[in-house]
């Protein structure tokens, strides 16, 4: 992760840029290293297989964020399903009209606070995936948002995704 240089005073936009750089550099490498196993697991675990992929992709960069004082404001509850150490499934959306069974999209959000316990914004994480086979038809991506209230985040996600469709 040589090109990812996270600093404690970064803004949400700067963090988004660093996370995007990380994803661009590593998503294919992590996918290629694990593709055979993930393809074999998909018939049994279906969509949960994408969580297994993200459990390999996201933790190294999430660790770097935490080392620099950034945290999710979300408190993990006993029955939460958490992917990649930071994506709470209950803080995600997927809509059929955003894609097709071969190219569906799920968008997660993480409200971020810095080392001073100040909310600095939200990181969206978009995962394009297939419901028919294990396939990532587009690179995963992080997007920064200034919004940090749930209703505002959901409205912004819908606006972003429906403008793309």
Residue 4 in any domain: the answer is no
What's the domain count of the chain?
1
Q: Is residue 148 part of a domain?
A: yes
Query: Which of 126, 146, 10 is closest to 70 using CA atoms?
Result: 10
DSSP sequence for 2-65: TT----TT--HHHHHHHHHHHHHHHHHHHHHHHHHHHHHHHHHHTTHHHHHHHHHHSHHHHHHH
State which residues form the domain around 124: 12-164
Q: Is residue 6 part of a domain?
A: no
Residue that wins the pLDDT comparison between 3 and 12: 12
What is the reported pLDDT for 137? 93
Percent of residues in the chain assigned helix, strand, coil, to nearest 5: 45, 20, 35
Domain membership of residue 5 (yes or no) is no
Residue 137 resides in a domain: yes
Q: Which residues of 127-137 are buried (b: 16+ CB within 10 A; e: fewer)?
A: bbbbeeebbbe
- Whether the pLDDT of residue 140 is over 70: the answer is yes
Q: What is the pLDDT of residue 103?
A: 85
Higher confidence at residue 16 or residue 78? 16
Total residues belonging to the chain: 165
In a domain, 7, yes or no: no
Evaluate whether residue 140 is within a structural domain: yes
pLDDT of 104 above 70: yes
Task: State the average pLDDT for the chain.
Answer: 92
The per-residue pLDDT for range 20-73, each reduced to its tens digit, is 999 999 999 999 999 999 999 999 999 999 999 999 999 999 999 999 999 999
pTM, whole model, 2 decimals?
A: 0.93
């Amino acid at each position: 992760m040589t090109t990812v240089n996270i600093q404690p005073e970064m803004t949400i936009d700067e963090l988004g840029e660093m996370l995007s750089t990380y994803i661009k550099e590593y998503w294919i490498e992590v996918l290629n290293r694990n593709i055979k196993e993930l393809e074999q697991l998909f018939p049994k675990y279906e969509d949960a297989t994408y969580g297994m992929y993200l459990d390999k992709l996201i933790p190294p960069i999430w660790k770097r964020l935490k080392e620099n004082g950034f945290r999710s404001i979300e408190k993990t509850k006993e029955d939460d399903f958490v992917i990649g150490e930071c994506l709470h499934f209950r803080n995600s959306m997927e809509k059929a009209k955003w894609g097709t069974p071969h190219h569906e999209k799920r968008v997660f959000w993480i409200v971020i606070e810095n080392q001073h316990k100040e909310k600095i914004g939200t990181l969206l994480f978009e995962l394009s995936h297939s419901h028919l086979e294990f396939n990532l038809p587009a690179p995963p991506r992080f997007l920064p948002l200034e919004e940090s209230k749930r209703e505002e985040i959901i409205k912004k996600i819908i606006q972003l995704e429906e403008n793309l469709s």
